[in-house]
């Protein structure tokens, strides 16, 4: 019996065919692994969410979570609020504010208007800003002209911006503006940990090699879930944009009424550097419904090809997608997003044929050292004959670093911190690239030391539950 189990586990370790050496196809044991994964996921979801449903949806829980978070002492703690919205007239809005320790803020603001084209923050494509002197923490989404705050948790948020925007179609001409919007929702929210279809997660896991790293991840999944929360809520944004020719001389007043969503995520480990690619699509239709589809490739977390998302009715009811034929290797794999995209999205009770045509696009860089390049496209769409508008986001790895023209004005304290973080990240990445993942063995020669040896399957050793004081690292040349 032992030998049968051993052979069975060894067979599950087999890596299926990789497309472009990254994206796993369905292997010979896909159906079996899919079944096992789905059973396991049902158990985990009940344990962490359904069992505590009343507490998670209580007003007290909303009060705690749906507001700016106190950042943990972990150096990579984050708190992100973002809005994506559009209307049938073609107006489109994207705002993303990410709070980090020591008053660091990563900011993105795009507004596409038919009469002005694309407006953007003057500092873009660089997103890095500083809202304190580095000795104090920020406590809200406030700074560089922004103030975004809840008026009533899970119901109403205010979005204010007063400052400059550059008009990309007019040679980056600067405009003085005041944005004043209210986001309001009376519907439910979509919790990515709780509400994603089990089918799409099981599909991604079933394509992976179930090796030592995979089982280590399962052992630590509760810690991973506790470290991050991500939810979205659909609603309406209403307000106006005022454009000034000179200070206090109003040039234009543009009313804004858009369908959109608010995204809030926070935690202690936002692993941007571990993401190979992702595509994110947010579409808002003329009948008040919307669609969000994401395709993520994060091999180190055994999610090389994960599909996520939902369909939201105009009444705020969410139906998670169960499958999608959008594959990363078919769309922009060489580094340039396509200008037309056609794909099919499936839910339990319907199929959706999605057609997208790009109207405008721009790019920005994410991460303290520009670890990722993000293309944002402002699009028109048609889904099963219903027309709408939206925004897509294509993320790629970027290895060029953050240039001097973007970093020369950084405060000295940040340059020192950045240098230390770069040294640590370079060391960790070199170790991961050269030897990952790690296979844990016990040294049986009268010692409690854990010997870490390196094999050819990717997973980082920090997910091991072994105390660091009991770890000794041997590279292949030492062993």
For residue range 419-447, what is the model confidence (pLDDT) as tens digits?
A: 766 654 554 455 444 433 333 333 333 43
Superfamily of domain 75-188+229-402: AttH-like domain (2.40.370.10)
Give tens-digit pLDDT for 189-228.
999 989 999 999 999 999 999 888 888 888 887 777 767 8
Please give the pLDDT value at position 425.
56
Residue 32: phi and psi, rounded to 5, are -65, -45
pTM, two decimal places: 0.85
Instruction: Give a three-class secondary structure readout of 160-188.
Output: EEEEEEEEHHHCCEEEEEEEEEEEECCCC
Candidates 366, 382, 412, 458; CA nearest to 22 is: 458
SS3 category, 105: strand
**119, 165 in Cβ contact below 8 A?**
yes
Q: How many residues does the chain have?
A: 479
pLDDT the model gives residue 428: 46
DSSP assignment letter at 328: G
pLDDT of 46: 84
pLDDT at site 49: 76
Q: Is the pLDDT of residue 404 over 80?
A: yes
The CB density around residue 137, as the number of other CB atoms within 10 Å, is 16
> How many angstroms separate the CA atoms of 257 and 332, rounded?
32
Q: What is the pLDDT of residues 229-256, one digit of tens each?
A: 899 999 999 999 999 876 666 778 999 9
pLDDT in tens, 248-290: 667 789 999 999 999 999 998 766 778 999 999 999 999 999 9
How far is residue 317 from each of residues 57, 84, 136, 157, 187, measured CA to CA in Å?
16, 18, 41, 20, 7
Domain ranges in the chain are 75-188+229-402, 403-434, 436-479
3-state secondary structure of 201: helix
How far is it, in rounded angstroms, from Cα 156 to Cα 139? Answer: 19
Q: What pLDDT, on the 0 to 100 scale, is given for residue 450?
A: 36
Q: State phi, psi for 10 to the nearest 5 degrees.
A: -65, -35
List phi, psi (to 5°) of 328: -60, -40
pLDDT at 76 over 90: no
Q: Which residues contact 63 (CB under 8 A, 6 or more apart)?
A: 153
pLDDT band at residue 152 under the 50/70/90 scheme: very high
Q: Are residues 36 and 8 in contact, defined by beta-carbon separation less than 8 angstroms?
A: no
Query: How buried is residue 103: exposed, middle or buried, by Cβ count under 10 Å (0-12/13-18/19+)?
Result: buried
What is the C-alpha separation between 270 and 274, in angstroms, rounded? 9
Residue 72 in contact with residue 56, Cβ under 8 Å? no
| Cβ atoms 268, 226 nearer than 8 A | no
């Amino acid at each position: 019996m032992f030998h049968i189990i051993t052979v069975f586990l060894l067979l599950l370790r087999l890596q299926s065919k990789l497309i472009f050496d990254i994206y796993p196809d369905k292997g010979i044991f896909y159906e079996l692994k899919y079944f096992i994964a789905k059973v396991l996921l049902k158990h985990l979801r009940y344990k962490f969410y359904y069992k505590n449903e009343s507490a998670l949806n209580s007003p007290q829980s909303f009060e705690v979570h749906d507001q700016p978070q106190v950042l943990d002492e972990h150096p990579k703690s984050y708190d992100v609020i973002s809005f994506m919205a559009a209307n049938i007239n073609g107006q489109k809005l994207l705002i993303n504010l990410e709070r980090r320790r020591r008053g660091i803020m990563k900011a993105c603001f795009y507004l596409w208007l038919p009469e002005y084209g694309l407006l953007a923050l003057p500092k873009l494509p660089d997103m890095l800003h500083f809202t304190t002197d580095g000795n104090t923490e920020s406590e809200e989404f406030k700074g560089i002209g922004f103030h975004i705050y809840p008026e009533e948790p899970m119901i109403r948020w205010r979005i204010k911006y007063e400052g400059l925007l550059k008009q990309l179609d007019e040679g980056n001409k600067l405009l003085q503006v005041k944005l004043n919007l209210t986001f309001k929702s009376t519907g439910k929210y979509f919790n990515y940990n709780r509400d994603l279809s089990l089918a799409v997660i099981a599909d991604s896991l079933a394509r992976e090699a179930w090796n030592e790293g995979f089982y280590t991840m399962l052992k630590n999944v509760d810690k991973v879930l506790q470290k991050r929360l991500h939810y979205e809520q659909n609603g309406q944004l209403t307000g106006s944009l005022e454009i000034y020719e000179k200070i206090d001389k109003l040039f234009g007043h543009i009313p804004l009424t858009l369908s959109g969503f608010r995204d809030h995520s926070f935690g202690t480990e936002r692993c941007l550097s571990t993401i190979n690619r992702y595509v994110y699509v947010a579409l808002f239709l003329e009948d008040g419904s919307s669609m969000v589809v994401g395709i993520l490739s994060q091999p180190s977390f055994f999610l090389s090809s994960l599909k996520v998302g939902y369909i939201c009715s105009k009444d705020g009811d969410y139906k998670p997608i169960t499958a999608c034929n959008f594959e990363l290797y078919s769309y922009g794999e060489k580094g340039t997003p396509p200008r037309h995209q056609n794909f099919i999205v499936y839910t339990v009770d319907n199929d959706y044929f999605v057609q997208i045509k790009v109207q405008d696009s721009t790019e920005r860089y994410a991460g303290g050292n520009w670890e990722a390049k993000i293309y944002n496209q402002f699009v028109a769409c048609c889904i099963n004959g219903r027309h709408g508008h939206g925004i897509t986001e294509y993320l790629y790895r970027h290895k060029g670093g953050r240039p001097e023209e973007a970093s020369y004005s950084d405060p000295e304290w940040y340059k020192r911190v950045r240098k230390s973080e770069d040294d640590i990240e370079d060391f960790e990445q070199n170790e991961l690239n050269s030897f990952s993942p790690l296979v844990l063995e016990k040294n049986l020669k009268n010692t409690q030391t854990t010997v870490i040896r390196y094999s050819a399957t990717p997973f980082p050793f920090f997910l091991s539950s072994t105390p660091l004081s009991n770890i000794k690292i041997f590279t292949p040349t030492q062993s």
